[in-house]
Structure 1
């Protein structure tokens, strides 16, 4: 099981790799030491990539995004409130009041402004659909007459900016995810290579070697146990096919299974089931 690629994201993958490097036996043979060096390099590269991603995400101030979001919320909220206010006038004196109430339902439905609390992309979709309906049903003259032209003018100003913000965020997230996935796979591959070589240190005629190998690979036990607990609790985490082998179990069978495991890792191994 130690040569099976762990399910990781970039953050806990770097942590796991560093823990394995720290636990590497001081008297490890040359091939193990070499694999450990490569694992350390993969962890360092992953850390740098994660830092770069955070720096890029910070290029567009999150505060600027929130300010734009509040402006969009206020713009659609103001139009709805304006129409509601008109609909409250006595219909016998102001015949258009009934139509104002109909427009509130037609544009915002039973859910009202609940879409303003959704994720940016979902909110963008709903706002765009409202504006599209206004254009397709030729409602602008009525709305301008009831609410004033300033409301749709403001929505027409904020919506393109909001749409551009959402598209920019999605593109950056997609690019970052794709980029970080490369480092996740590199860390997985380095862990499999290192664990395989460490497991190869076992001499079944010398029980002490089994304990030394288990100690060196204990971070993998901890990682899988943590993932299993999260899975049982319904949280996102690593799903394992079984509990860690008992401390007294020989590691040799795992080494013999290494070629199949390495092949799975080369295909991605499902590592992207966890967020990067």
Structure 2
């Protein structure tokens, strides 16, 4: 047998994400020998099915992502930012009045510190889930300390009324996005493991076509599995910083073969009415 032929590199699970896994599966199917033995042909059919399932899963993921309007999400985020920012500005403005003439000025300054601390509104620039947690904690503090009557008297009832309106909707948005992301990622990981397994099964059977007494069979196997060589070389270039990274649509996957490495890839309730301030639950 050709001493340069190393069968072991073809029967290890390749490092893939969902996008390049689908591409690799399609390439291997296209390179399958025309007169392949029955076991190779059957493995090729299963690999083709796994690749098609991966393509469908990837398309569904993109469709789900597109179903949630980013414009609507950004609009809701701006509304929440403005609501908390307006309350803080109102309290700050009141605190600037002469305390000897307006007793509530001193208390307004204390409330600014109590509610927003030294970081002020910096939480409004954090990711949605972090911002939701901080906003909810502010509302919970107002409830637990029974500050709503005092804040309403100083700033006016409109500010907490608006926060009570926007926060439950914001909470629903954040929870919905997280749940969809977890579900989609879990599904993609399952599909990706199936592609890995199908590739390993197919490659193992193709390698079995090698006949030590027939050098031509080695070349036939190399030709059939050349997409794996190309994939492995592309991965090495990425590791050296020689190519752009893979598409962001990926998910964690478990090895399809013993010891094989893989590459890693993130319902609320509430009402939208105004009135009494309430934190999402």
**Normalising by the residue count of structure 1, what TM-score does the alignment of the two structures yield?**
0.80
User: Is residue 2:173 matched to residue 1:182?
Assistant: no
Structure 1 match to 2:25 = 17
- Deviation, 1:154, is 0.5
Partner Cα separation in structure 1 for residue 95 and residue 239 of structure 2: 52
Query: Which sits farther off after the overlay, 21-30 or 130-139?
Result: 21-30
Q: Which runs of 5+ in 2 are unaligned?
A: 1-8, 247-253, 267-281
User: Is residue 2:264 matched to residue 1:274?
Assistant: yes
Aligned pairs (5 A) from 1:1-276: 1-231=9-239, 265=256, 271=262, 273-275=263-265
Would the alpha carbon gap of residues 230 and 142 (structure 1) be closer, same or farther in structure 2, given more than 3 Å must change? farther
Contact 2:13–2:261 under 8 Å retained in 1: no
Q: CA RMSD in A?
A: 2.6
- Deviation, 1:156, is 0.6
Structure 1 match to 2:3 = none
Would the alpha carbon gap of residues 170 and 194 (structure 1) be closer, same or farther in structure 2, given more than 3 Å must change? same
- Deviation, 1:133, is 0.9
Contact 1:202–1:210 under 8 Å retained in 2: yes
Would the alpha carbon gap of residues 222 and 86 (structure 1) be closer, same or farther in structure 2, given more than 3 Å must change? farther
Contact 1:87–1:98 under 8 Å retained in 2: yes
Contact 2:95–2:107 under 8 Å retained in 1: yes
- Deviation, 1:210, is 2.6
- Deviation, 1:167, is 1.4
**Normalising by the residue count of structure 2, what TM-score does the alignment of the two structures yield?**
0.78
- Deviation, 1:17, is 0.8
Partner Cα separation in structure 2 for residue 32 and residue 43 of structure 1: 16
Contact 1:236–1:274 under 8 Å retained in 2: no
